[in-house]
Chain A
Amino acid sequence: MMPAAPRQILPIEGGAVVSAVATVLEAQGVPADVTPNRRTVELAEDAARMFQRLARPIGVWASISLADFAGVFGGEGHNAPETPVDQTAGRADDLALFAVTVGDALPSRIAELFARQEPALASMLDAHASEGAELAAHHLQNRYVDWLSGTGRLGAESGALRYSPGYCGWDVSGQRRLFDYLVPEEIGITLRDSFLMQPLKSISGVIIAGHQEIFDFENTFGFCEECSTWACRERIGAVLGGMPDETA
């Protein structure tokens, strides 16, 4: 009998997913070179405390072979013809599917604050929750890398990068097969017919681990022009410049 692929469920400590006030203010449209007024900073700090009280971050990762990943990635056949995801994954040493969430108390609280006509706090809490989900994904990625290092599988000059369905040419309908393989329902994340995850503040994807050079690519993909975040460049930069740290 084949041994089951390694899979870990990881509750994440709340403090690990609280973003810096400056990050959250930027997400709220306050430019980094503008000094925010006192009330705005207080609002962000209040929201950070509220976020830490309500967040229940948890994640799951499961190793996946390249062949199995090709099946998951193929999804429902709607991906872009060329993507950095399959190109990078095809040269990887290790792959793991993952999902993280900061829990369902946050979206309910945000909705309640809007209903109570506290839009500024609601919006700030929303930004903390979105950024918190990103930090949770980052944390999970680092724990997976730790696990790889512990097994001696991660060589020198290696790194890891994650991609998510809905980004970089990987169609969001890829969520279905990702869920079939990973079963994030076990940590409370469910998938709707529209491929939307519940709780809302959740992230899914693949973590690709391998030699640093596999992550570098030129931006020649058609969909890069439509991308609103360009977050990959920062993350690729972190891998090429060494392993990402907890707060990147």
Chain B
Amino acid sequence: MKLLEELAQSLERGDSQAAADSTRGAIELGLPAQRILDDGLIAGMAVVGRRFKAHEIFLPDVLLAAKAMYAGLALLKPLMIEQAVATQGKVVIGTVQGDLHDIGKNLVGIMLEGAGFEVLDLGTDVAPETFVDTAVREGARIIGLSALLTTTMPVMRKVVEAVEKRGLRPEIRVIVGGAPLSAAYAAEIGASAYCFDGISAVETVREMLGVER
């Protein structure tokens, strides 16, 4: 449908005003929220993600697209709640205890939201139990941890252990990322996956939750 195509294209251009206008138009036309979400917002961000991965566009372009996506999403949210629209799944993310770096974690959160996941961002300096409690309370099946210092990486192991101790594995999976991390470290602490960046986080979460592209 043309209006939803325009919505998707407004995201690609990073045009927040046009994204808001198209979303409003689609709502006024009575289109179901799920369709506006899937064929407009998520479709637009998917193209942006692909072009970013192919190095045709760069981080600032992706983030301008994300801003446009948020402009549309803000209008769509009430309708999504009213129509009980299901997201692709919930992901709890945060920067581990002792660490205050949040840019990387924020970017990963934006990428996940752009792919249609509901992101519960706990912020920085988050205690292991808080991650697990939130995931259980919210029914999230993925916990995403970020750390930027070698000294805070060991907290990730504590989160994995807390998930295990409460018998929540394999229902709840822990994925990890951040500059000093590696796939080997993730394996060593028993995390389910290491994600190099936001794109790999999206691909990993999709695979884990069995979401089709």
Contact = CB atoms under 8 A, between A and B. Distances in A.
B61 interface: yes
A123 B99 contact: no
A30 B14 contact: no
Contact of B58 (A34, A111, A173): A34
A164 B14 CA distance: 39
16 contacts: A29-B58, A40-B58, A40-B61, A43-B64, A118-B67, A119-B67, A120-B14, A120-B60, A120-B67, A123-B103, A124-B60, A166-B150, A172-B151, A195-B151, A196-B100, A196-B149
Contacts of B102: 111, 114
A169 B106 CA distance: 29
A195 B150 CA distance: 10
Interface of A: 25, 28-31, 34, 36-37, 39-40, 43-44, 107, 110-111, 114, 117-120, 122-124, 126, 166, 172-173, 192-196, 198, 200, 228
B59 interface: yes
B150 A172 contact: yes
B61 A194 contact: no
B179 interface: yes
B122 interface: no
Interface of B: 14, 55, 58-61, 63-64, 66-67, 70, 74, 98-103, 106-107, 110, 149-152, 179
Contact of B59 (A29, A172, A200): A29
Given A34-B58, A110-B103, A195 B64 contact: no
Nearest to A192: B98
Contacts of B150: 166, 172
A231 to B, nearest CB: 14
Contacts of A200: 100-101
Nearest to B71: A117
Contacts of A120: 14, 60, 63-64, 66-67
A26 B74 CA distance: 32
Given A39-B14, A118-B67, A120-B67, A30 B99 contact: no
Contacts of A111: 102
10 interchain residue pairs of minimum CB distance: A194-B98, A120-B63, A117-B70, A119-B63, A40-B60, A29-B59, A30-B58, A194-B151, A120-B64, A28-B59
A39 B100 contact: no
B98 A193 contact: yes
A114 B106 CA distance: 8
A98 to B, nearest CB: 20
Contacts of A36: 58, 60
A198 B100 contact: yes
Contacts of A117: 67, 70, 74
For B70, B103, B107, the residue with the greatest tally of chain A CB atoms inside 10 Å of its CB is B103
A44 B58 CA distance: 13
A59 B58 CA distance: 34
Contacts of B99: 194, 196
Nearest to B182: A226
Given A39-B14, A198-B100, A200-B100, A119 B66 contact: yes
Contacts of A166: 149-150
Contacts of A194: 98-99, 149, 151-152
B48 to A, nearest CB: 12
Contact of A173 (B63, B106, B107, B151): B151
A28 B60 contact: yes
Nearest to B179: A228
A198 B98 CA distance: 12
A196 B58 contact: no
A92 B83 CA distance: 70
Nearest to B154: A194
A177 B42 CA distance: 50
Contacts of B66: 119-120
Contact of A123 (B59, B70, B74, B100): B59
A243 B86 CA distance: 61
A201 to B, nearest CB: 11
Contacts of B14: 39, 120
